[in-house]
Structure 1
Amino acid sequence: MMGLAAGLPLGSFAQISEGTKVGINTGTGLNAPRSGVFWTSPTAQTGVIGDFYIDSLWRKGDVKLAKPVAQIGGLESDSIAGIDIRYNVLNDELEVLADPVKKDIRVIRGNQLKSFKSNSGFGMVEYVNLAERDPKGELKGFGAVLASGKVTLVKAYKPKITKPNYNPGFGTGEKNTIVRLTSDYYLFTGAGVEKVSLSKKSLLPLMADKKAEVEQYAKEHNLDFKDETQVAGLLRFYNSK
């Protein structure tokens, strides 16, 4: 495992986060990392309010980097374990509480991450890099793995941005950019990525090769297809067959 002071050559930031877009549009720019430095400070977003985090609380977690990096002594590792983290969806940054006493917060850019695990309070939840799993290159950010196996169900988080609509003449409207988190569901298979809704009509055709077993499971459990926890249980059942 590596320490917080390790250095990492930064790659190109091919995918722009929604936070960067907001920064460009509002003229606040991007707090770009210094060349050759792994840990950077969080991107400031003045005039932007709302929901930025999947979970705003600091949680113990583990990180898997996209590429191994050199540690002190010359050894390489792609893992960091037992650190306090939270994911900023708007900026596509994993924030790390490097020093709780000094309130020193650093970040790892999303494109430097393969995945991370966070203790939700009900167990560890894994979040995977969506761009890495999408052969079409249309997805970005991170999603929570609800069920994994031959078919993996992922809940992908994304920001919904409402631009300011303040009218100075009447003194009405909102001066700030408002951010709210939304989510979509995807099934990852060997054949690619399929966007799905939590509905019987959307999900059952994708498990047609085990139609009888799946339908029997749904009937016996009186399955509510709008409940992601119950749907995840169905996917785990399907993967076990």
Structure 2
Amino acid sequence: MRFLFVLTIIGIVPSIAFPQAQTEYMSQTTRDRINFTNLNISNNATLFSIKGPAGNVIGHPYLDTTWQAGNVKFYNRLGVSLTTDSLAGVPVRLDLLANEVDIRAGANNIKAVKATAVRYVDINNSFGTVSRYVNTHEYQGNGQALTGFFEQLATGKLDLLLYPSVSIRRANYNLALNTGTKDDELMKKQDWYVASAKQATKFSPGKKAILELMADKKEPVEAFLKTEKPDLKSRAGLLAVFTFYNRL
């Protein structure tokens, strides 16, 4: 019995000593982690990001940052007025990202109107003329899937429409490779559309596409293209062709 008791005591002592040593070890480890001075952290892009200034947004969302005199036609009457549904001769600009018409009522007073409330806007342009921007929902077909405005360059049997828009190219900085940019960028885009009887269709300009569109007047249009040689990739060239066709 005495021999068994001694063995039992011997077996207990290590079991008491081990937790004590483990506790001391863990305490030391904790102190070491808290008091580290030369910890080496790898550039793991999934765990860590760079400490420093945030990225910027490059570009602006406006069709033109310059305020231009314009006339705004609304779908509904303004306020309590029974007759007025428009504003004339007011400084305006188009916010393509927010799909809003900004109206400056004073030096520090800017009103933003959702595009869905505006039938059209007439704005002075840099070409010395007036551009009309019509709500895309005034057209059927492809126009119903868009928001914002078509610029009406030519109207008639065939309408020539230009759809301006802005998209955001997100920052693509790669920490592990130290490549890319931290900045978001606003990217402007313009797409051509044509409309017949208010049915709008996306359009890729070119001689073949023009002649297919204007097949009912193919001969005079083809002669016009041959003699005038308009640049069918340019605003002025396309406007000349559509204006000629709509006058036939």
Whether the TM-score (by the shorter chain) exceeds 0.5 is: yes
Aligned partner of 1:234: which letter?
V
Farther off after superposition, 62-71 or 167-176: 167-176
- Which one has the bigger helix percentage? 2
Task: State the distance in 1 between where 2:84 and 2:141 align.
Answer: 26
| 1:117 paired residue among 111, 122, 127 | 122
1:214 maps to 2:214: no
1:127 maps to 2:136: no
Q: Larger radius of gyration, structure 1 or 2?
A: 2
- Report the CA distance between 1:206 and its aligned residue: 0.5
Q: Secondary structure in 2 aligned to 1:220?
A: helix
2:113 corresponds to which residue? Answer: 108
2:29 corresponds to which residue? Answer: none
Task: State the distance in 2 between where 1:51 and 1:115 align.
Answer: 22
Q: Secondary structure in 1 aligned to 2:145?
A: coil
Please tell me whether the aligned partners of residues 78 and 86 of structure 2 are also in contact (alpha carbons under 8 angstroms): no
Task: State the distance in 2 between where 1:191 and 1:118 align.
Answer: 22
- Report the CA distance between 1:188 and its aligned residue: 1.0
Task: State the distance in 2 between where 1:152 and 1:110 align.
Answer: 21
1:57 maps to 2:57: no
TM-score, length of structure 1 as denominator length: 0.73
Farther off after superposition, 144-153 or 190-199: 190-199
Please tell me whether the aligned partners of residues 196 and 203 of structure 1 are also in contact (alpha carbons under 8 angstroms): no
| 1:203 paired residue among 198, 204, 210 | 210
Alignment of 1:118-197 (within 5 A): 118-121=123-126, 122-135=128-141, 137-167=144-174, 172-190=179-197, 192-197=199-204
Q: Across the two proteins, how many residue pairs are aligned to each other? A: 192
- Report the CA distance between 1:214 and its aligned residue: 0.8
- Report the CA distance between 1:177 and its aligned residue: 2.1
TM-score, length of structure 2 as denominator length: 0.71
Task: State the distance in 1 between where 2:169 and 2:121 align.
Answer: 29
Please tell me whether the aligned partners of residues 197 and 203 of structure 1 are also in contact (alpha carbons under 8 angstroms): no
Structure 1 runs, 4 residues or longer, greater than 6 Å off: none
Q: Per the alignment, do residues 47 and 93 of structure 1 end up closer, same or farther by CA in structure 2, a change over 3 Å counting?
A: farther
Task: State the distance in 2 between where 1:175 and 1:190 align.
Answer: 46
Q: Structure 2: any 5+ residue segments left out of the alignment? A: 1-54
Q: Structure 1: any 5+ residue segments left out of the alignment? A: 1-45
| 1:238 paired residue among 223, 227, 245 | 245
Aligned partner of 1:54: which letter?
L
- Report the CA distance between 1:185 and its aligned residue: 0.3
- Which one has the bigger strand percentage? 1
Aligned partner of 2:111: which letter?
R
1:26 corresponds to which residue? Answer: none
